[in-house]
Amino acid sequence: MNYRPTVGEILQAKGVSRRGFLKYCATTASLLALPPSMIPRIAKAIENARRPSVIWLSFQECTGCTESLTRSASPTVEGLIFDAISLDYHHTLQAAAGEQAEAARHAAMEENDGQYLVLVDGSIPMANPGYSTIAGISNVDMLMDTVKGAAAVVAIGSCAAFGGLPGADPNPTGAVSVQDLVKDKPVVNVPGCPPIPMVMTAVLTQFLTFGQIPELDKHGRPLAFFGNTIHDRCYRRPFYEQGKFAETFDDEGAKAGWCLYKLGCKGPTTYNACATVKWNQGTSFPIESGHPCLGCSEPRFWDKGGFYQPLSTGHFGSGATVAGAAVAGVALGVVAAAAGKRRQAKYTKEA
């Protein structure tokens, strides 16, 4: 196996001072949403960490996730790729192509057997493997072959995590998520359309720092970033509590920056870190720009009704389901009433 230097050695070779290293650790703690009191432990762990090999597979996707990651500021993606991780295979970013690229993937798998990370963006078509192939290899074959020797798999974006847009009704390609196929390796879901770049880099940094995947929620998402709803952390929450809502996109409430709940905001049912981590180097997030949250980090968000329908109209579970439930409720009521009458009749007879 090739010698893999520790991060401490890499920084030392670059002439980074101890102060610079402490600064790096402070921003890493911030990135991992860990308390600043953890910085000394992080410093020790990072200093001795060896950079992991990463294989990135792109299937049915739009490259938006890679676009998002390459705009990540902390640590810079250049730093992440060249210093913190060894990105051995990535269709879009690598110079090699065709057989040369596939050879690089196999070499990385052999050299780092049992230790490398597989990152996947995009869903996998199962209706016909020919819908999406790379170097003549179907997506499902490439995924299953590559994860065999992996330490863990990270599903980047809502397509890889939950099926995403390709998996939306009527799902013409039979698209499935990574966790639908990979059952014998730890799978971390980092959903979002696209995911927040800092959350992607944080998962990699967590693995680099502590050699393990972060604590996950029931959908396989890192709790540090998906533990609270957008609504929980929204700066407009006080307006919700006060009952101050924008009714249209150009009324006085919208101009005053009031709550967007009635304009379809999915913040109350969406778990993500946009409200605190924010986008574009911490500039803002959709609600701060005056647009409701679409709920893009939740499973099957494309099929959950209109983006501009308020949650109170039965968005999650859809109007049709709510209407169906109402009809079922009536029907159950009829059945219950009939049963009650039968019981009454029986008792009347017995009496």
Partner 1 sequence: MNSVNEIPVGVETTHGNVRPILSEILHALDKLLDENATTTIDLASLPFGPGELDALEAALGEGELVAKLDALGNSRIRETTYPGVWWIEHRNVNDEIVGRYVEVTRLPEILCSQDADIGAGRARLGEMFE
Contact footprint for partner 1 (CB under 8 A): 16-20, 22-24, 26-27, 29-30, 33, 35-37, 73-76, 233-238, 255-257, 275-277, 281-282, 284, 288
Quote the least distance from Cβ 41 to partner 1, whole Å.
Answer: 14
> C-alpha 261: how far from its chain's center?
23
Query: Which of residues 248 and 313 has its CB atom nearest to partner 1 in the complex?
Result: 248
Query: Which of residues 29 and 175 has its CB atom nearest to partner 1 in the complex?
Result: 29
Quote the least distance from Cβ 280 to partner 1, whole Å.
Answer: 10
Three-state secondary structure along 162-184? HCCCCCCCCCCCCEECHHHHCCC
Q: Which amino acid is at 74?
A: S
Query: Which of residues 150 and 259 has its CB atom nearest to partner 1 in the complex?
Result: 259
Cβ pair 287, 237 in contact under 8 A: no
Query: Which of residues 180 and 288 has its CB atom nearest to partner 1 in the complex?
Result: 288
Quote the least distance from Cβ 288 to partner 1, whole Å.
Answer: 6
* Number of Cβ within a 10 Å radius of residue 180: 15
Query: In Å, how far are 161, 262, 266, 302 from 318, measured between CA atoms?
Result: 21, 16, 13, 11
Q: Which residues contact 69 (CB under 8 A, 6 or more apart)?
A: 77, 156, 197, 200, 201
Quote the least distance from Cβ 19 to partner 1, whole Å.
Answer: 5
Q: Which residues contact 200 (CB under 8 A, 6 or more apart)?
A: 65, 68, 69, 72, 154, 156, 190
Q: How far apart are CA 297 and CA 323, in angstroms?
A: 26
Query: Which of residues 156 and 274 has its CB atom nearest to partner 1 in the complex?
Result: 274
The C-alpha angle 21, 26, 28, rounded to 5 degrees, equals 90
> C-alpha 279: how far from its chain's center?
15
Quote the least distance from Cβ 258 to partner 1, whole Å.
Answer: 8
Query: Which of residues 53 and 297 has its CB atom nearest to partner 1 in the complex?
Result: 297
Q: Which amino acid is at 255?
A: K
Quote the least distance from Cβ 5 to partner 1, whole Å.
Answer: 17
Quote the least distance from Cβ 75 to partner 1, whole Å.
Answer: 7
Quote the least distance from Cβ 18 to partner 1, whole Å.
Answer: 4
Phi, psi dihedrals of residue 60, rounded to the nearest 5°: -75, 90
Quote the least distance from Cβ 249 to partner 1, whole Å.
Answer: 12
Query: Which of residues 4 and 233 has its CB atom nearest to partner 1 in the complex?
Result: 233
Query: Which of residues 139 and 272 has its CB atom nearest to partner 1 in the complex?
Result: 272
Q: Which amino acid is at 15?
A: G
Query: In Å, how far are 52, 57, 102, 270, 315 from 293, measured between CA atoms?
Result: 35, 28, 39, 8, 13
Q: How far apart are CA 191 and CA 220, in angstroms?
A: 10
Query: Which of residues 22 and 322 has its CB atom nearest to partner 1 in the complex?
Result: 22
Alpha helix (H) residue ranges in the chain: 7-13, 18-31, 39-48, 64-69, 77-79, 98-111, 139-147, 157-162, 178-181, 197-210, 223-226, 237-242, 252-255, 274-277, 318-350
